[in-house]
Structure 1
Amino acid sequence: MSLRFRNSTALLALAAALWGCNREERQTRGKPLGETATAAMPDTVYPGTGNAPAPDPRAAQYEGNASAIAQGQMLYNQMNCVGCHFHGGGGMGVALMDGKWRYGGRIDQIVASIDQGRPNGMPAWRHRLTEQQMWQLAAYVRTLSGQERKDAVSARADEVSNTPPQTQTKREPLMPADSDEQ
């Protein structure tokens, strides 16, 4: 067999192998919610004595999803959430590392805060982020509290620090996001 025939056969085999691969499809494009005809996200804040609304069914799709958390981590830096929340430790914005969540710590409640904004400083990101980006960002913000599974979080943070990787930090006890004990 000639060398030319072997190379073309190998190339053909490689192309056939790549064609047959099933890859995960991710939707990376979308319009911000203000540019689409979708309704506003429902407000998930409720009085302390009332019953909590049922979690949004989309939460299961993003919570604990390593890909969504990684995308959310990039968005957290790109959208300059770091400027106010200083890598989750607080500053001009509230701290995201503790168990105290003023407007609820469930992922759908975090999405509602990103979408609608909150009084005294948190802007509404509805016209700047797509719905998917808000869910990804909320998935990452949930990991800052240390309650996320360690196999879902990133092994390294993107900022310069001397802290151990998130996968090696002690997992905080799981606290219900809507409990009064916070």
Structure 2
Amino acid sequence: MTLRVLPLLVVAASLLSACEREQRSFTTPMPNAQPAASAPRMSDNQPALALPGGVKPPAGEGSPYENNAYAVAQGKHLYRWYNCSSCHANGGGSIGPALMDAEWRYGSEPAQIYQSIVQGRPNGMPSFGGHIPEDQVWQIVAYVRSMSGQLRKDVAPSRGDSMSTNEAENARRRETTKAEDMPPEQPTGGPQR
């Protein structure tokens, strides 16, 4: 009897040890932005009552959420909630540039996308710094990168039922992104009165 049970226990133990589950963190990670608001806003446009002063630049190049499927799904929800679709459509571009392709005007790295959201851009992108909490900005950054296939397939969210015409984020092939040659940005002055 024990000779038959022993191989089953060995197989069960090997299967359990080979199973790798995603570690989900439901707490906000340590801030990934510098403590001081030392970066200038690149756009006078802001989504609500204009906030004075600069914004916090990212502390490093990486995103704290790129390997967390829950956070990327939250980023997808926030992308819709903050109405990013009004300019970028569902990633295909409209008034704002497309987010699904290989052409990235200001760069496709997490810190560069964070800067675009927080500081804004002079050609129309509003400055959301101080209007969106930092952890939510990083979740949106992770979702935006998933749109062009920059995240692992098991982390990228699947297509929402309301967007049945687009290919799901976790089914897209990885785009080789490249930044356009742009002249250096000039910070804008404060709000115009």
Deviations 1:57-112 (Å, cap 9, x if unpaired)? Answer: 47252223212211110110000000000011111111111111111110111001
Q: Retained in 1: the 8 A contact 2:146–2:170?
A: no
> Greater share of helix residues, 1 or 2?
1
Find the aligned partners of 2:108 and 2:102 in 1 and give their Cα distance.
8
Asked if 1:84 is matched to 2:87, the reply is yes
Other-structure match for 1:172: 174
Find the aligned partners of 1:156 and 1:135 in 2 and give their Cα distance.
20
Deviations 1:114-172 (Å, cap 9, x if unpaired)? Answer: 00000121000012101111111111111111232111111222633233433334x22
Q: What RMSD in Å do the two structures reach over aligned CA positions? A: 3.2
Asked if 1:161 is matched to 2:158, the reply is no
Deviation at 1:56, TM superposition (A): 4.9
103 and 168 in structure 1: CA distance in 2 versus 1, 3 angstrom threshold: closer
Q: Identify which of 124, 127, 132 aligns with 2:127.
A: 124
Other-structure match for 1:114: 117
Deviation at 1:179, TM superposition (A): 8.5
Other-structure match for 1:40: 37
Find the aligned partners of 1:58 and 1:25 in 2 and give their Cα distance.
22
Find the aligned partners of 2:152 and 2:85 in 1 and give their Cα distance.
23
Q: Retained in 2: the 8 A contact 1:97–1:145?
A: yes
Q: Retained in 1: the 8 A contact 2:78–2:140?
A: yes
The TM-score normalised by the length of structure 1 is 0.65
Other-structure match for 1:73: 76
Partner SS state of residue 147, structure 1: coil
Other-structure match for 2:108: 105
Deviation at 1:40, TM superposition (A): 2.7
38 and 75 in structure 1: CA distance in 2 versus 1, 3 angstrom threshold: same
Amino acid at match of 2:116: S
Other-structure match for 1:18: none
97 and 165 in structure 1: CA distance in 2 versus 1, 3 angstrom threshold: closer
Please list every run of at least 4 consecutive aligned residues from structure 1 whose deviation after the TM superposition is greater than 6 angstroms.
none
Other-structure match for 2:16: none
Unaligned ranges ≥5, structure 1: 1-22, 44-54
The TM-score normalised by the length of structure 2 is 0.61
Q: Retained in 2: the 8 A contact 1:41–1:112?
A: no
